């Protein structure tokens, strides 16, 4: 189900980790992304009842990427939008963006 969101007042956190010195984004960035998501979205089980944070990220990593190799998924609820993106081609990156509506 897609929920149309227009946030007038928002809180946004963006974590972007790119490859440096040949370190794979998978080994270097994913533990940081997972622990950050756990800390910033403590009500995860209300947003995604089917998967834990680790299971969700792992399923995105196992999904088919686009032509540039980027794998992206966004979860939306009435209060939040959580986007995870990953690309291991070229320089590679891991990105997490959490946007939350402020009442």
State how many domains the chain has.
1
Q: What is the pLDDT of residues 6-52, one digit of tens each?
A: 556 668 889 888 766 655 665 667 888 889 899 988 888 888 888 99
Range of the domain at 34: 16-101
Determine the average pLDDT of the residues in 84-103: 84
Please provide the DSSP assignment of 15-69 as one string: EEEE--TT--HHHHHHHHHHHHHHHH-TTHHHH-SS--HHHHHHHHHHSPP-TTS
Is 4 inside a domain boundary?
no
- 49 vs 95, residue with greater confidence: 95
Is 90 inside a domain boundary?
yes
Is 10 inside a domain boundary?
no
Nearest to 63 by CA among 54, 72, 52, 55: 72
**Residue 66 pLDDT > 50:** yes
- Chain position carrying tokens 């959490």: 98
Is 6 inside a domain boundary?
no
Is 91 inside a domain boundary?
yes
pTM as predicted: 0.78
74 confidence band (pLDDT: 50, 70, 90) = very high
**What's the burial of 27, exposed, middle or buried (CB within 10 Å: 0-12/13-18/19+)?**
exposed
């Amino acid at each position: 189900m897609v929920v149309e969101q227009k946030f007038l007042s928002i809180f946004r956190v963006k974590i972007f980790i790119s490859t440096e010195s040949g370190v794979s984004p998978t080994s270097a960035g994913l533990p940081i992304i997972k622990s950050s998501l756990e800390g910033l979205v403590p009500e995860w089980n209300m947003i995604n009842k089917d998967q834990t944070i680790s299971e969700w990220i792992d399923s995105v990593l196992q999904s088919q990427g686009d032509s540039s190799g980027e794998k992206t998924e966004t979860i939306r609820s009435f209060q939040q939008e959580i986007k995870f993106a990953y690309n291991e081609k070229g320089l590679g990156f891991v990105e997490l963006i959490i946007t939350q509506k402020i009442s």
